[in-house]
Structure 1
Amino acid sequence: MGKRIPAFCPWNGYGGYRGAKSGKAKKLEQSANAQVLITSYPLIQREADIYQSEPFDVLILDEAQAIKNQASKTAQAVRSLQKASAFALTGTPIENRLEELYSIFNTLLPGVLGTKKAFKTLENEEISKRVRPFILRRMKKDVLTELPEKDEQVQYTNLTDDQKKLYVAQVNRLAKDVDSAIEGGQFQEQRMQILAGLTKLRQICCHPQLVLPDESYKSGKFDRLLEYVEEGIASGRRMVIFSQFTSMLSMIRAAFDERGWLYHYLDGKTPAKERLALTERFNEGEHSLFLVSMKAGGTGLNLTGGDTVILFDTWWNPAVEQQAADRVHRFGQENNVQVIKLITSGTIEEKMLEMQEQKKALVEEVIQPGEQQLKSLRPEDVKELLSV
């Protein structure tokens, strides 16, 4: 971000605060002559006492969904900062539930939405009315009129025969567990085990070897991905492939290595400096493939050197998938972008897709599309996910 400031404000000095060294508190004196201080949420949380002692004229929170959980240490640390005014920038002010919007507003304008208890009783229309004067919402199509088109499509794949047998067995096993939990009044207590079972179903859709690594299985979706990539390379496309499972990315890497396909790779373990270098090299034309972990690379990356996004597996939150696609379809993109979501027919992935669409409408009433939040899954929702 610091590189962009001189371009817009050449008169404005800026400083970056990287944190205390050797465990000793370091004041912000190193940036005393700067008018803009750039830091991070982890640093604010870790060294809150240092930041609390410094009054700021303006606080700008980029990717403000980082403070969506009002009870988190990060949100508490940010709220403790002294500021004359504050702004929040985010493409997803609501990711999981309406209370996340409350957390952001409670940081910017404490009291405007009342107490949290009172907020929970408000109708969506009333919430929308209260926040509307303070929100400037800009759609990409309105502000980036020169941006090339984005073609989004869902491509359905089928389970292989062995894959389907494994999937059905897991569905039956999980359905019995869910029924038992409901009958015994233990659904809430066994929520984590049930969610783990749902994750296993999603992994089987990706590739059975994610759950049975020592067995030999085929995956319809995995085979289709390799076919698509081969076709894309032949036609000169530059592809960015996202998956939430790093174990799945490892399997894709192995297949690419076997075929001699060159690629870049980024996940949560990739150092910050290396992340930047990888994206710059890709954007300059090095390699036509980029494998990215959804959580690690879904935000903060500029991958305009690509023209195709492949979402290998489905995420509960469509906003996360949208942000991943926007790594490629963003300012600076000169080519039309194709976004492909791979969905396994007749499985939990198809059910999740339906559930996402149903839940989008609710949050859209207030401000922004949202997600089916895992913690709000009701017993009937889980049973619907397991229906085949």
Structure 2
Amino acid sequence: MGLGKTLQAICLMSYLKVQRMSPGPFLVLCPLSVTDGWVSEMDRFAPKIRVLRYVGDKEHRRSLRRTIHEQVKEQSSQTDVLLLPFDVLLTTYDIALMDQDFLSQIPWHHAVIDEAQRLKNPSSVLYNVLNDRFLMPRRLLVTGTPIQNNLTELWALMHFCMPSVFGRLDQFLSAFKEAADPSSDHVPSKVKEQYKSLKSIVGTFMLRRTKSKLIECGNLVLPPLTEITVMAPLVSLQKKVYMSILRRELPKLLAFSSGASNYQSLQNMVIQLRKACSHPYLFPGIEPEPYEEGEHLVKASGKLIVLDQLLQKLHDSRHRVLLFAQMSHTLDILQDFLELRRYSYERLDGSIRAEERFAAIRSFSRQSAEGSLNFQADKNGAFVFMISTRAGGVGLNLVAADTVIFYEQDWNPQVDKQALQRAHRIGQMNSVLSINLVTERTVEEVIMRRAERKLQLSHNVVGDDDENQESNESVGVEAGDLQSVIFGLGIFDPTETSNENFGEEKISELNSLAEKVIAVRHEQVAGKDERKFEVNPTDMLNGCPLSQGGNSASFSFDSGFDEASYLSWVEKFKEASQTNGDQMMDMGRRELDEDRRAKVEAAKKKAEDKKLLRWEALGYHSLSVKDPVSRLDDGTMSDMGSVQFVYGDCTNPLQVCPSEPTIIFSCVDDSGNWGHGGMFDALAKLSAGIPEAYNRASEFKDLHLGDLHLMRVNEDSDNKEGNSPQWVALAVVQSYNPRRKVPRSNISIPDLELCISKASFSAAENSTSIHMPRIGYQVGSDRSEWYTIERLLRKYASIYGIKIFVYYYRRSS
């Protein structure tokens, strides 16, 4: 992890090519985010090797295949030897699966699998396709974490390389059953002997480089690394949401000890609890309406309050930060927070396309290279790089940052360790500070304690030999993960009623805490280049020093499952729920006044009938969508809905959603005069019927604020193959008065919300997605309007379970 694995692989291919030991071709598989890094390293260290980056959309890859075919066909007429127009083909795991019919035809002399822990599951499609279909007799696996959870994963990697040496899985596990399950009642000496034997076997096939070995022999100089875990409190709103989830799942908790609970449902419950620990606004309906940007966003989460204080200090001292989170929706909230504080940032997650990922990485790294030697943040550069751990936690070189903050932790501790190495690696010149934010006395702390045990397994199998280091900690196996987490929920005290209200005094205390945490970076300890601390804000503010190596007093995590204690906690929670039953949250769902709504509907219907009779006589048919029946009434919210940000032209949604029904959403005023330029020209080009329908609606006085006119634009092409239904929705959200100094008003948010609800309802009815420009967002302007609009989009995407795509301009190069 940051010790030159990529360079070693490049040197191997270069040596084989130059020494004519192997003419190639070589196949390199890696994550999408690191393909740019591979190309730049190949250009730098092996410029004579021809590299083909086989990535991109379907049309681009088809063009590459056509070019390869033409060149091979041309060469085959001159010689019988297969001559390909490249030495190394670089692509991703997903493309290797999608284009396996083409790629598996090439006789690869060597294959390099980067971040090979992707092959840890021997039952996965990728594992079996590469093993069965691809011709690659020589395989090099590149990984910093050959074992993450159990010995099955290690066997999978070794079997992939040498199936003749590492036979069946059951044989392997039988031979090392004591090492595979050290928590069982095995003789310690036998367990130790099996670890020693396993190390010896694996070491024969593994070239392993560690920081400690390289530093010891003088080949590597790295600045010190300090890891600190900060235990954050639950604020009042978080406690209510956390309690509400537990109350709702109480029957499952009661049934768990008898084995009657469903594994998937319990896993979903744990995910919901983790979301409550991160930020309550991750649940639809929790954020108060009207949606307005403000301090409520920060005060709703204990972790975000602590992060706010930390970032203030880091920004003032001109450090740069990698901010990791698990969920893209968490990144959305963190992005809103960074906008609120006016911090500059880059973002990388699974929704960001390849070109923009590379641009963000280059931008963040270039600012460092152009800055001072000590990598202090440039005033015009990005202060924070927000990264989804799974999308950007491996393979990247981001030494421009010297501080790493984990807002959410991965189930697998090795994933977080990999992410940390994005900053603490070759090229880093500053001391590195890693901060883990964990909500105390919750499921997050249980998972953290569980993760500490998992790390011990990796050390026992492939770690450095250290005869003087004895460990009394046993390592749990993956099968017991969920059970131990559920039993560990007893760490939460349901009778605790004290509210965490963060006034000025409390904020001042946390400000002092942030100073102490950041100051740990500069405390030098002789002979120690890596240190770990854990801090509880309450203890630290009371004068207690940092506890090194974890605070076991916070929570005693026994390897054995204490079912009696768990049942006692469930009963205690049940009693507390009955006592405080009147305080249960409804998770933001509000019931409408049925009588009032009935009267309003009756009046609307009478006026509507009168209007329709007049229009029918004149031959006019309105395209205005009726007010939808809100799904909030039945309390349903869908997890299927999403808002995604993409580049391109929203009037050409087939680039994003080919062969799918779509609705193009655009805003207009009530003037009846079709505009010019921008969206107006694009929509008129799409169909001349769009401006005609708008003008005709104006003639019949059918343009009112809050109206949504929905028109089909490709009815004539229904019978053509590949043409999916497409609609255009014109949202009347601006008034027009020629007497005003500025005739056209600003967008009316209430009317926009009504139009979004109508469009979302129509999308759900027709099984379509919505495509729209980024409304109310301009660089350098007040972005509070966009904050409100984005929240409305997420609200109705969740209510109706639809996908909304928001288009914005591509980053200028």
TM-score, structure 2 length as denominator? 0.44
Give distance in 1, aligned partners of 2:439 and 2:477. 21
Structure number with bigger Rg = 2
Distance between the aligned counterparts of 1:16 and 1:361, measured in 2?
A: 38
Within the candidate set 331, 345, 350, 1:263 is matched to 345
Give how far 1:212 is off.
5.1
CA distance in 2, matches of 1:17, 1:233: 39
Superposed, 1:57-96 pairs within 5 Å as: 57-80=109-132, 81-96=134-149
Deviation of the 1:295 alpha carbon: 1.5
Alignment of 1:161-310 (within 5 A): 161-171=236-246, 173-174=248-249, 176-183=251-258, 185-187=259-261, 190-211=262-283, 213-216=285-288, 218-285=300-367, 286-310=381-405
Offset at 1:381? 4.3
Report Cα offsets for 1:300-319 as digits up to 9, x if no partner.
32211111111001211111
Query: Which secondary structure does the structure 2 equivalent of 1:264 belong to?
Result: strand
CA contact (8 A) 1:78 1:107 kept: no
The separation in 2 between residues aligned to 1:366 and 1:207, in whole angstroms, is 37
Change over 3 Å in CA distance of 1:15–1:150 after alignment to 2: same
Looking at structure 1, the residues matched to 229 and 418 of structure 2 have their Cα atoms a distance apart, in angstroms, of 17
Please give the per-residue CA displacement for 1:281-309, whole angstroms capped at 9, x wherever unaligned. 11222221111112211123221111111
State the match for 2:167 in structure 1.
114
Query: What amino acid does structure 2 have at the position aligned with 1:65?
Result: Q
- Structure scoring higher RCO (CA < 8 A, sep ≥ 6) equals 1
Q: Pick which of 164-173 and 355-364 moved more.
A: 164-173
Q: Partner of 1:353 in structure 2?
A: 448
Task: Say if 1:49 and 1:26 are closer, same or farther in 2 by CA, change over 3 A.
Answer: farther
Report if aligned partners of 1:175, 1:386 keep a CA contact under 8 Å in 2.
no
Match of 2:48 in 1: 11
From the superposition, tell whether residues 348 and 119 of structure 1 become closer, same or farther in structure 2 (CA, over 3 Å). Answer: same
> Which stretch shows the higher mean deviation, 298-307 or 1-10?
1-10
Matched, 1:105 2:158: yes
**Cα distance between partner residues in 2 of 1:305 and 1:378:** 37
1:111 maps to a residue whose letter is S
Q: Tell whether the 8 Å contact from 2:68 to 2:85 is kept in structure 1 after alignment.
A: no
Amino acid at match of 1:355: R
| Superposition deviation, residue 23 in structure 1 | 6.3
Instruction: Please say which of residues 254-263 and 214-223 is displaced more in the overlay.
Output: 214-223
Question: Separation in 2 of the partners of 1:175 and 1:290?
Answer: 39
Q: 1:383 aligned to 2:487?
A: yes
Of 168-177 and 267-276, more deviation after overlay is shown by 168-177
Indicate the residue corresponding to 2:703 in structure 1.
none
Instruction: Give the paired residue count.
Output: 384
Q: CA deviation at 1:372?
A: 7.2
Query: Which among 412, 415, 427 is matched to residue 317 of structure 1?
Result: 412
State TM-score, norm by structure 1: 0.90
Indicate the residue corresponding to 2:712 in structure 1: none
Residue 107 of structure 2 is matched in structure 1 by 55
Secondary structure of residue in 2 paired with 1:365: helix
Q: Does the 8 A contact of 2:150 with 2:457 survive in 1? A: no
Question: Which amino acid in the other structure matches residue 234 of structure 1?
Answer: D
Partner of 1:132: 203
Distance 1:23 1:5 in 2: 24
- Give the CA RMSD over aligned residues: 2.6
Give structure 1 regions of 4+ aligned residues with deviation exceeding 6 angstroms. Answer: 22-25, 371-374
SS at structure 2 position matched to 1:2: helix
Question: Who is 1:338 aligned against?
Answer: 433
Distance in 2 (alpha carbons) for counterparts of 1:28 and 1:376? 50
Distance in 2, Cα, partners of 1:261 & 1:6: 35
Alpha-carbon separation, structure 2, partners of 1:267 and 1:11: 33
2:460 aligned residue: 365
